[in-house]
Amino acid sequence: MSKIKCIVIEDEPLAVRVLSDYISQVLFLELQETFKDAIMATDWLRHNTTDLIFLDIHLPKLKGMSFLKTLVYPPAVIITTAYHQYAVEGFNLSVTDYLLKPFEFERFLIAVNKVKTASTERKEPNENQEMKDSVFLNAERKKVKILFSEIVYIESQREYIKIVTTKKEYMSKMSTHEIENMLPANLFKRVHRSYIVSINKIESYTAEIVEVNGVSIPIGRGYRDVIEGL
């Protein structure tokens, strides 16, 4: 069973110890790092990826909600705070759950199980999804059918994605996370925060780049094991 990797952004040492202890008791969780402020976490996320963030709201330098708004494609987020008045804002930012301090292990487990359930649903598409050979996307002011077999790579461009196929390129207003969930996992792999490539179009790769149909795509440091696993 692949583990859900997580980080903790929390400036209270006791809260960090509690969360670290709780995480260690859950077999499907793996703690990567802890940070006492969001600035340090932001720097780490430039070169690394995670599946889940435990985020305190009242942090020094950059507040938790402000930090969350800076993430273009945030992973799952569980808010941990002593202030209940931020719950509505948190859910408006699509956080998975909101833990009010002090919280017991049972309540913590409920929250992380929500993340696990959502992760499983993304990674295990139903039979109908597996049989599909194409996807319809909003592009050129209409719904365009794009065959999986023709996609070379997908690149994030702020709030849009560029889908490069063997025939032409399309622009669609969505995130790479959204399109990734629509693609068969056995045919496409994310190799960078901004790039998804077609496995069948890979011609060669090194530790830093992968070449697809003559185009060099950078490999993010946190995604090198994805390529090595092909």
Render pLDDT for 21-34 as a digit per residue (tens, 0 to 9): 999 999 999 999 99
Closest CA to 50 of 58, 59, 41, 63: 41
The last residue of one of the domains, among 123, 141, 173, is 123
Residue 213 Cα distances to 11, 84, 191, 204, 217, angstroms: 47, 52, 16, 10, 10
pLDDT, residue 127, reads 44
213 plus 198 within the same structural domain = yes
22 plus 97 within the same structural domain = yes
pLDDT < 70 stretches in the chain: 1, 84-94, 120-131, 225, 227-230
185 plus 221 within the same structural domain = yes
By residue range, what is the domain housing residue 158?
129-228
133 plus 118 within the same structural domain = no
Query: Quick one: angle between helices 13-24 and 105-123, nearest 10?
Result: 60
The pTM for the full model equals 0.56
70 plus 181 within the same structural domain = no
Q: What is the total count of domains within the chain?
A: 2
